Amino acid sequence: MYVCLCHNVTDARIHQLVRTEGVSTMRELREHLGVATQCGKCAKCAKDVLREAVSEARCEGSCSGMLAAA
Ligand code: FES
């Protein structure tokens, strides 16, 4: 799904950026992808997707840590 039409940013791209670059704030997202820097209509949706992606990344990290310890 497209999150930011002005910069052609999808939710998948945000999830990928969180996993690979450790992005966790709107400021970092803005710097990397330009999200919410033009019309600004995507800000709320981008924030929601970012929050979800960070939460998933944290869960993956702690789950793999648990597996490594087992
Ligand atoms: Fe993201 Fe316009 S839709 S800045």
Contact (CB, 8 A) for 24 and 55:
no
Tell me the per-residue pLDDT of 51-64, one tens digit each, with 9 for 90 and over: 999 999 988 877 66
Q: Which pTM was predicted?
A: 0.86
Look up the domain containing 40 and give its range.
2-69
15 C-alpha to center of ligand 1: Å? 18
* Dist CA 66 CA 43 (whole Å): 34
Q: How confident is the model at residue 67 (pLDDT cuts 50, 70, 90)?
A: low
Q: Whose CA is nearest to atom 1 of ligand 1?
A: 4
Query: Phi and psi for 4 in degrees, rounded to 5?
Result: -120, 110
Cα 65 to Cα 30: distance, rounded to the nearest angstrom: 30
User: pLDDT confidence of 70, banded at 50, 70, 90?
Assistant: low
Q: How many domains does the chain have?
A: 1
- The enclosing domain of 51 has a CATH number of 1.10.10.1100
Closest Cα to atom 3 of ligand 1: 4
